[in-house]
Amino acid sequence: MSNGLALRDRLATSCVRAVNRLSRLTGRGSGTVAGGRVGLRLAPGLLGSLARGRTIILVSGTNGKTTTTSMAVAGWGGVVTTNATGANMPAGHVAALAAGSSERGVLEVDEAWLPIVMNATRPRVVALLNLSRDQLDRASEVRQMAERWRTALQADASDGPVIVANANDPLVVYAAEVAVNVVWCDVPTTWLADAVSCPKCTKALTHAVGSWHCRCGFAKPKAITTTLHEQLVIDGRRVNLDLAVPGEFNRSNAAMALTALARIGVDLAGAVTRISEVASVAGRFSVRHWNRHTVQLLLAKNPAGFAAMLSTVPADRSDVWVAINARIADGRDPSWLYDVPFEELRGHRVLCFGDRRLDLATRLDYADVDFLVVDDEEVVPVSDRPVLLLANYTAFSDWLARSSA
């Protein structure tokens, strides 16, 4: 893709590749961000130059970005350029586009960076999954995020991207309703704790099965393109969605990815088949080995993510492992543990891992859930079946690194 780039951008691009190669070789990083940073310093407009001429889908939202991005890549088929390691800010996008020559691109975008990345990459489609509280000690509050998206989408002209948006998330609807091209998706969305009061007038929203509205007139959009119940329906076409990855939330992610692909003309049946085969995304849902244990790794970073993951825990599984850290990438404040419906784990015993295992144990104690604080990992009881491990961001990375395939 480097033909058509200005000299400055070409030089910057080769620097991106060189730095990434070096950082991989020296083992200092996975080589996806360092090079991008250098490139942006040399040529601030590099992201836009690298994106020019490509067909790009952006995916953003609090939960499910990485999985949905991965599903869109798989569903598209063939060679697709993507930031697969979740380096979801501009340096990561630059690195991905510099490394990948395919003219098709799917990029996962951090919520706060979406307006800038949209502006730079001129995407064909932007998928907006959901907005909920996440790392509030770092990011701005969730309503401000919706406001920023709305401002960015408002500026969007008629030749701008198609916005594939979750109609069941009032904050997403608030952001997307001002866009010229919106495709509304009616997909299962269980976490609504952050959208109890109306984003427009702050009065109480009324939620009923399959609908929501406010007295001020703000309501779930009526013109729906995609619905997901037993079957998935996109533009009136029905397909069965039978995924390898667990959980209702993953079906919603797949539905959004497929809607985005349908909008750029990808054949639906083929895309469904390819998406159904996705079994693990950057280690998520993968079954791993650690000491004498077999562990299935589930990532959950915030209350909405945890609520979704807890719903996948089978009732007959006695021990469940949970690992909690509060490092910078997790957000330093684990208060959100009290927003997670851990009461659902009553009847199980929870083994508490991670830097903040005592915060977790205290939360479980007050939830009346049986727990064991794991201070000595040598004495963890071995289960005859794979155990589920729910971990937040850095705890998940730790476990992925310390376990083997």
Partner 1 sequence: MIRVAVLFPELLGTYGDGGNGLVVSDRARRRGIQASLEHVGLGDELPEADLYLLGGGEDGPQRLAADLLRASSLASRVNDGGAHVVAVCAGLQILGSSFSVEGDDEYEGLGLVDVATRRGERRSVGELAVRVGADLLVGFENHGGLTTLASGVSPLGNVVKGRGNDGALDGYRTSNIWATYAHGPVLAMNPWFADLVLGAVVGEELEPLATVADRLYRERCSVLGR
Measure the CA–CA gap between 172 and 402, rounded to whole angstroms: 37
Nearer to partner 1, 329 or 373 (CB): 373
Q: Where are the alpha helices (DSSP H) in 58-169?
A: 65-76, 90-99, 114-121, 142-154
Amino acid at 371: F
Q: Among 193, 196, 216, 224, which residue interacts with Zn ion (rule: CB under 5 A)?
A: 216
Tell me how far apart the alpha carbons of residues 102 and 340 are, in angstroms, rounded to a whole number: 41
**By CB under 8 A, residue 366 contacts partner 1:** yes
Q: Which is nearer to partner 1, 62 or 225 (CB)?
A: 62
Are residues 134 and 301 in contact, defined by beta-carbon separation less than 8 angstroms?
A: yes
Contacting residues for 241 by C-beta, under 8 A, at least 6 apart: 228, 231, 232, 251, 254, 255, 272, 276
| Number of neighbours of residue 375 by Cβ within 10 angstroms | 10
Stretch that binds Zn ion, among 18-26, 66-74, 202-210, 391-399 (CB under 5 A): 202-210
Q: Of Zn ion, partner 1, none, which one sits near residue 141, judging by CB under 5 to 8 A according to partner kind? A: partner 1
CA–CA distance, 63 with 253 (Å, rounded to integer) = 9
- Our CB check for partner 1 shows the closer of 224 and 328 to be 328
3-state secondary structure at position 246:
coil
358 binds partner 1 (CB under 8 A): yes
Please select the residue that binds partner 1; options are 41, 237, 289, 332, rule is CB under 8 A. Answer: 332
Tell me how far, at minimum, the Cβ of 337 lies from partner 1, in Å: 6
Contact of residue 396 among partner 1, Zn ion, none (CB under 5-8 Å per partner type): none
Site string for partner 1, 188-227 (x = CB under 8 A): -----x--xx----xxx-----------------------
In sequence order, the 6+-apart residues with CB closer than 8 A to the CB of 37 are: 91
Among 337, 345, 380, 388, binds partner 1 (CB under 8 A): 337
319 or 355: CB nearest partner 1: 355
Contact 373, 356 (CB under 8 A): no
Q: What is the rounded distance in angstroms from the CA atom of residue 29 to the CA atom of residue 33? A: 8
Report the partner that residue 218 touches, choosing among partner 1, Zn ion, none (CB closer than 5 to 8 A by kind). Answer: Zn ion
Give the residue ranges of DSSP H helices in 289-330: 303-310
Task: Single out the residue of 79, 101, 103, 137 in contact with partner 1 (rule: CB under 8 A).
Answer: 137
Cβ atoms of residues 322 and 389 within 8 Å: yes
Q: Is 339 an interacting residue with respect to partner 1 (CB under 8 A)?
A: yes
Pick 154 or 335: Cβ nearer partner 1: 335
Query: Residue 218's closest CA among 171, 179, 151, 154?
Result: 171
Our CB check for partner 1 shows the closer of 371 and 393 to be 371
Tell me if 336 contacts partner 1 by CB under 8 A. yes
Summarize as ranges the residues that interact with partner 1 (CB under 8 A).
133, 136-138, 141-144, 193, 196-197, 202-204, 332-333, 335-339, 358-359, 361-363, 365-368, 371, 373
